[in-house]
Amino acid sequence: GGCPFAGNRAAAGNVSTEDLAYLCEEEGFDTGLDIDQLLRCAMLAEKIVGRPLPGKLKNAGAFRGALPPQSAI
């Protein structure tokens, strides 16, 4: 187990669950996940650990329907 990039400062790291779920949903994949609930969980996690976490969606907010899924183009 573990991350093969642990200790490698050049590695980008892991993607947050909410960011990946949002990307999949926007590309037309039904993840079955509640994006708004994932965002609430991410914000709660930040409060618990007392520092900002690297996910981007919780700061930007979901912008649904801006573009059609890639498969529709």
pTM above 0.75, yes or no: no
Domain ranges across the chain: 17-61
Residue among 49, 51, 14, 20 nearest 33 (CA): 20
pLDDT at 59: 83
pLDDT at 73: 45
The model's pLDDT over 28-52, given as tens digits with 9 standing for 90+, comes to: 999 999 998 999 999 999 999 999 9
Kindly state the average pLDDT of the residues 4-12: 68
d(CA 49, CA 55): 14
Q: Hey, what are 30's tokens?
A: 């039904």
- Mean pLDDT rounded to a whole number for the chain: 80
